[in-house]
Amino acid sequence: MRIVTLNESTKNNLLNSLLKRSPASYGQYEQKVNEIIEAVKEKKDQALFDYTLQFDHCTITKETIRVTSEEIEEAYTLVDPEFVEVMKKSAANIKEFHQKQLHNSWIIPKEDGTILGQKILPIEISGVYVPGGKAAYPSSVLMNVLPAKVAGVKRIIMTTPPGKDGKITPGTLVAADIAGVDEIYKAGGAQAIAAMAFGTESIPKVDKITGPGNIFVALAKKACFGFVSIDSIAGPSEILVLADETANPRYVAADLLSQAEHDELASAILITTSQELAEKVSEEVEAFTQTLSREKIIRASLDNYGYIFVAQNMEEAIDAANEIASEHLEILTADPFETMTKIRNAGAIFLGEYSSEPLGDYFAGPNHILPTNGTARFFSPLNVDDFMKKTSIISYSKDALAKVHKDIELFAEREGLTAHANSIKVRFER
């Protein structure tokens, strides 16, 4: 990996480079995505079937688009039983963590006749998109579905592209069953997003769409936002390791590669105060890469977006980490908890040498659907609140309104909204 001195210039070059990976930078695909969306809005199921044949080379009909209970049962026979048990343990951890995020409705009455409150309810229907083939990750199924289940969403549907044989990846089906998905449909790509956003004869319109996908899926979610809620426009995966001279270079190298293997656009960055650690990590990365199955992808990722920055001190390193606002942030310092208190921007923070990033991907419980491309400055991980809607409650007695009606009328009149003022004023006519 390249080793660079951290300064304002190299930091800004990195930030500009990372921004190029954003789905917003791929406008050349937007016209095709919009064409697909319009076709699904107009032709509904027929468009879905046509696109499935065109892109997935599979014939789907209204009789076969929905996954049957028999297909789910078959999937269990095709998945290693030990893996099934591990998925169940992971699901239990995810559920337990997200249950702590639940909020209750509340109402506060006051002696002056004012009643204020908030009504909190789950959305009615949630839709989750799951990629197919080699990009199918059962862990993402659990992470997308379980917060919605904890929130109390009544109906959760899933769309995922079928293989040429018309079947769905077995691990995806088993994970969906463990998580409690209600309906699974064989549809992929931008057309599946459009189907969930607007509804077809077979697939219901949902209130929210979550889940990862390729650039066409990301742009379709962006285009449908407003007609339906979405989780985010996810970018490529990224990791930032913040380390001092106490860090184990072998652990650091392994953790950087855990994200570099995702795809050629993945970002793996080390910021350290130790030149010696930087050099040892670079050596370990090269040694590991030669032994790993996705060597070609890893090398492309590191060539494009892999960096080791050497900072003058930890304060400079922390400032850079906050500006980068990485999806995953590992802290491998002498006192990681103390360092963590100075971090403002990160999707998920992993503390200490035994809290490597894959722990969060698969098992610990916190959600692994995280803000990317610097959006951790203002976005949060997927959570129970994403599947809740909040309604304000307001009730004033006549006496309570009498005390403030002139203030409200004045405010409305100053804004030139005389009908607003009159709506209050008529209640105090003599």
**How do residues 46-79 score in pLDDT, each as one tens digit?**
999 999 999 999 999 999 999 999 999 999 999 9
- What's the pLDDT at 26? 65
Residue type, 350: F
The span from the CA of 282 to the CA of 257, in Å, is 11
Give exposure, 142-158, as e/b (b: 16+ Cβ within 10 Å).
Answer: bbbbbbbbbbebebbbb
358, containing H or E segment: helix 357-362
Closest by CA position to 150, among listed 92, 228, 192: 92
Q: What is the dihedral of CA 145, 146, 148, 152, to 10 degrees?
A: 130
CB atoms within 10 A of CB 364: 17
Q: What angle do CA 168, 171, 173 make, to 5 degrees?
A: 55
285: phi then psi, degrees, rounded to nearest 5 = -60, -45
Ranges of residues in the chain whose predicted pLDDT is under 50: none
Q: How far apart are CA 220 and CA 39, in angstroms?
A: 13
Residue 30: predicted pLDDT: 87
Residues labelled as active-site residues: 327-328
pLDDT of residue 22: 66
- pLDDT at residue 24, rounded to an integer: 60
pLDDT of residue 142: 97
Question: Side-chain half-sphere of 392: how many Cα atoms within 13 Å?
Answer: 3
The DSSP string of 33-97 is HHHHHHHHHHHTHHHHHHHHHHHH-----TTTSBPPHHHHHHHHHHS-HHHHHHHHHHHHHHHHH
Beta pairing, strands 208-210 & 229-230: parallel
Structural contact between residues 181 and 146, judged by C-beta atoms closer than 8 angstroms = no
